[in-house]
Amino acid sequence: MVVCFVVARWPNLIDRTVNRELDIIYLDNAASTWPKPPGVAEATARMIAECAAGPGRGTHRMALAAGRVLLETRSRLATLFGIRNPSDIAFTANCSEALNLAIKGFVRPGDHVVTTTLEHNSVRRPLAELERKYGIRTTYVKADREGNLDLKAFEAAFLPNTTLAVCTHASNLLGSVLPVADMAAIVRRHGARLLVDAAQTAGARPIDVEAEGIDMLAFAGHKGLFGPQGTGGLYVHPDIVLEPLVHGGTGSQSENSDMPDVRPDRYEGGTPNVPGIAGLGEGIRYVIEQTPEAIRDKEYGLTAMMMDGLAGIPGVRLLGPGPGKDRAGIVSFVAEGVESAELAFLLDRQYGIAVRAGYHCTPLAHETAGTAETGAVRASVSCMNTPDDVKALIGAVGEIVTSKRRA
Ligand code: ALA
């Protein structure tokens, strides 16, 4: 009875939300991309409607069809990231889970880890947990105010017991892009392994794990890969064996009380998000068709336009690399006379523009940028945005900031 009552009271949850979103100018793509390319929603819905069986958990046709969806999406990911064996990719619920799997599965008591002050809490928090529980040690190499990392300082942080380096590929606050191939060479010289957090870059710029020397790559499915939320994954180099994060059913080696040693089963306990992974497969298809190079260039053009326009508004200070320098599709800024949260609120309520304000789960990067006290407003594009979206943001920020400064 209670369930019926609740369902009856909330029959139109999706309609109400989507209807409001349809006339939005969406510039919060660093959190989650929207809209998705054609085919993503359809593939997800189709799996729920037509093929909701457990992959690898039966030999009937529907279970096999679900298994093929995982296989196909994994193969597309391997193509996109230059990975030889798709089984070296494990699906996870998001990039945070992938990073937790990599960090907690790799680091052992007595280890030292090198990382940076640009990291998201999904790197900082698992490391802090291991520090508390097992006394591991972490060195945070300080990036400069724009979000650039000095490679000499990075190399100087390595100790004889350093086993892992973790870095974001692009800062989710500053948009700065780290030179992961150069970092990988340093990491190799010190006999350690490199884990890259590609939350902001997977799909939005080229990544080749072999060519760039990346040992583990964590990625979100719902950002630049255009999949649904609840998808993500981790690439693990074939010679690295991680402790699993989840112990549970895999549909394989069921007599064994340990997790199987075969991949990807070892890292995928429990029934996966097959509808989400079906949608993710369509998102990756789109990225491969467009090419990550073309997506990067389109986002860069929109970002450059945004920086140019915002920089011309008196009282606005942009964070991150200056004009002409490489950056992901992220522009964060602070405005004199108006708090970041208020500015984001007014953009949404008065202009229908969605951005994200606050600390973006990266207090370390805010300290680095000098915005630990104020937070910042972040506008972030995907290749679905248009110059008109950017013009609307610049115009709206200009009006709000000018009226606040006059008041
Ligand atoms: N990490 C995501 C962001 O930066 C959620 O907004």
Type of residue at 287: V
| Nearest-CA residue for atom 2 of ligand 1 | 31
Q: Are 37 and 290 in contact (CB under 8 A)?
A: no
Q: How remote is the CA of residue 288 from the centroid of ligand 1, in Å?
A: 23
Q: Please state, in angstroms and rounded to a whole number, the distance separating the CA atoms of residues 300 and 283.
A: 20
Q: How many Cα atoms occupy the beta-carbon half-sphere of 59 within 13 Å?
A: 1
Sign of CA dihedral 188, 190, 191, 194: negative
DSSP three-state, residue 25: strand
Q: What are the distances in angstroms from CA 75 to CA 55, 270, 366?
A: 16, 21, 37
Q: How remote is the CA of residue 8 from the centroid of ligand 1, in Å?
A: 34
CATH topology of domain 40-290: Aspartate Aminotransferase; domain 2 (3.40.640)
How crowded is residue 75: how many other Cβ atoms within 10 Å of its Cβ?
15
**Ligand 1: which of 28, 125, 171, 172 to mutate, judged by most atoms within 8 Å of the beta carbon?**
172
Q: Are 334 and 319 in contact (CB under 8 A)?
A: yes
Q: Is the CB of 31 under 6 A from ligand 1?
A: yes
Cα of 374 vs its chain's centroid, Å:
24
What was the pLDDT predicted at 407?
A: 78
Tell me the two tokens of residue 361. Answer: 């789960």
What was the pLDDT predicted at 345?
A: 97
Every domain of the chain with CATH number 3.40.640.10 lies at 40-290
Q: Please state, in angstroms and rounded to a whole number, the distance separating the CA atoms of residues 336 and 401.
A: 8
Q: How remote is the CA of residue 29 from the centroid of ligand 1, in Å?
A: 9
Q: Are 357 and 377 in contact (CB under 8 A)?
A: yes
Tell me the two tokens of residue 232. Answer: 């993500």
Kind of pairing between the strands at 316-318 and 330-335: antiparallel
DSSP three-state, residue 81: helix
What was the pLDDT predicted at 9?
A: 59
What was the pLDDT predicted at 8?
A: 52
Type of residue at 12: N
Is the bond leading into 11 cis (omega within 30 degrees of zero)? no
Q: Is the CB of 114 under 6 A from ligand 1?
A: no
What was the pLDDT predicted at 404?
A: 86
Q: Please state, in angstroms and rounded to a whole number, the distance separating the CA atoms of residues 126 and 136.
A: 11
Q: Is the CB of 30 under 6 A from ligand 1?
A: yes
What was the pLDDT predicted at 58?
A: 83
Q: Where does 25-30+291-406 sit in CATH, by number?
A: 3.90.1150.10
Which of 256, 254, 207 has the alpha carbon at shortest distance from 235?
Answer: 207
Give residue-wise pLDDT tens across range 100-109. Answer: 999 999 999 9
Q: Please state, in angstroms and rounded to a whole number, the distance separating the CA atoms of residues 36 and 45.
A: 14
Q: How remote is the CA of residue 321 from the centroid of ligand 1, in Å?
A: 19
Question: What is the mean pLDDT for each group of 10 consecutive residues in the chain (407 residues)?
Answer: 47 52 86 97 97 89 95 98 98 98 98 98 98 97 98 98 98 98 98 98 98 98 98 98 96 91 96 97 98 98 98 97 97 96 96 94 92 94 97 98 86
What was the pLDDT predicted at 152?
A: 98
Q: Is the CB of 298 under 6 A from ligand 1?
A: no
Q: How remote is the CA of residue 121 from the centroid of ligand 1, in Å?
A: 10
Q: Are 1 and 9 in contact (CB under 8 A)?
A: no
Every domain of the chain with CATH number 3.90.1150.10 lies at 25-30+291-406
